[in-house]
Chain A
Amino acid sequence: MSALLSLFLKLSAFSALAFGGINALLPALYDLSVNQEHWLDTRTFADFFAIAQAAPGPNLMTVTLIGWHVSGVIGAIVASIAICWPSSIMVFFLQRYISNLRNPVTKQTIQFAASALAVGLVLGSAWDISQQINHSVAAFALTLIAIAVILLTRWHPLYLIVIGGILGVLGFI
């Protein structure tokens, strides 16, 4: 019970600070679940991240898997609810507030500022998490290639994930 309660409280607090979405927050999630709470080790964290990336669905499935690892299906449900509820309530009211704003400059100022912060957080997070989960030159090279393909082509991300998986099975990464 105390494990579930701690899962719920820590992830709820985490969610309330998760500006820029879950991907921007991966390093903080890593710090919380591996270093502070010892819910799982570094390798399992990296593997859960990979599973959530390979599976369909929102990126927050990493959190669902962490909950499942801590206390089974109940843990998965508790973790998923904890990561959703604080922001859901905030956005429910904020949406009403912003759509009622009359001044377009105020409205745009809020949106422009938030979007610049979100970009920085996503890129900073990618930088940080790549140091945690890539342990070879080949892995960093694969990350760089994935970035290039995403920016320069219209490939579906699923192809990249399949290629990454195959290279890994063959022992290159």
Chain B
Amino acid sequence: MNTPSPKQLFIGFSKIGISGFGGVLPWARRSIVEQERWISSEEFNALLGICQIVPGPNIVNLAVCVGSRFAGIRGAFASVLGLMLGPSVVVILLGMLYEHYSYLPAVQGMLRGISAVGVGLIAGTGFKMMRNEYSFPPMLLVVAITVIAAGVFHLNLGWVVLIASPLAIFLAWKKAKQA
């Protein structure tokens, strides 16, 4: 395993950010685990688990975790800055184009098509993540409750978490003891 400096973290996460079409996570894993060999595959999963517990953008959380693990607070800043800078410049340039050309029916149609696909990508990722729950089927009840509370009843997020977490923690405790 290699130990990156803040500068190397900045460069590494810049590459991850700018190559992450349709979601950054697959690229992050490929780069951090397979190419740069900063951390092992097992450690990556554990870090990602922690990043998903905390609210906020998971991929930014991951940059904080990886960056601070190797170079403390400076490493965390270098990683997050690298991740955000390139993509921000790209979307702002696209936003400027949008302001000038959004009246064109072709542009409107294109964006409708892309957003329909975009929702499908999110749902597809959700279904893929759900595969991890099949090893302990009772947990699917938590998934169902959360989907219904958030998606169908449009409950406020705080309420959704409050309603679902007692059962989630109880079942997670059973699953952990079983493992």
Contact = CB atoms under 8 A, between A and B. Distances in A.
A118 B122 CA distance: 12
A111 B53 contact: yes
B95 A84 contact: no
Nearest to A46: B115
Given A59-B23, A98-B50, A119-B130, A125 B122 contact: yes
Interface string B112-125: 11111111111111
B84 interface: yes
A37 interface: no
B143 A120 contact: yes
Contacts, number: 383
B142 interface: yes
B100 interface: no
A143 B120 contact: yes
A155 to B, nearest CB: 10
B1 interface: no
Nearest to A53: B118
* Max count, chain A CB within 10 A of own CB: residue among B106, B122, B150, B177: B122
Interface in B35-63: 46-47, 49-61
> What DSSP secondary structure best describes chain B's contact surface?
helix
Contact of B120 (A48, A146, A171): A146
Interface in A109-126: 109-126
A7 to B, nearest CB: 15
Given A47-B111, A142-B113, A91 B95 contact: no
Interface residues of B, number: 99
B73 to A, nearest CB: 8
B11 interface: no
B87 A55 contact: yes
Dominant secondary structure of chain A at its interface with chain B: helix
Given A91-B56, A122-B122, A169-B110, A52 B91 contact: yes
B61 A87 contact: yes
Contacts of A124: 146-152, 160
Contacts of A170: 109
Contacts of A27: 150, 154
Given A55-B91, A161-B114, 12 more contacts: A17-B158, A46-B111, A88-B60, A112-B139, A114-B53, A121-B157, A123-B143, A124-B148, A127-B123, A129-B119, A151-B128, A166-B113
Interface of B: 17-24, 46-47, 49-61, 64-65, 68-69, 73, 76, 80, 83-84, 86-88, 90-92, 94-95, 98, 102, 105-106, 108-130, 132-133, 136, 139, 142-152, 154, 156-158, 160-161, 164-165, 168-169, 171-173, 175-177, 179
15 contacts: A21-B52, A46-B115, A47-B115, A57-B17, A57-B90, A60-B60, A95-B47, A95-B69, A111-B172, A115-B129, A125-B122, A143-B117, A160-B117, A161-B114, A164-B117
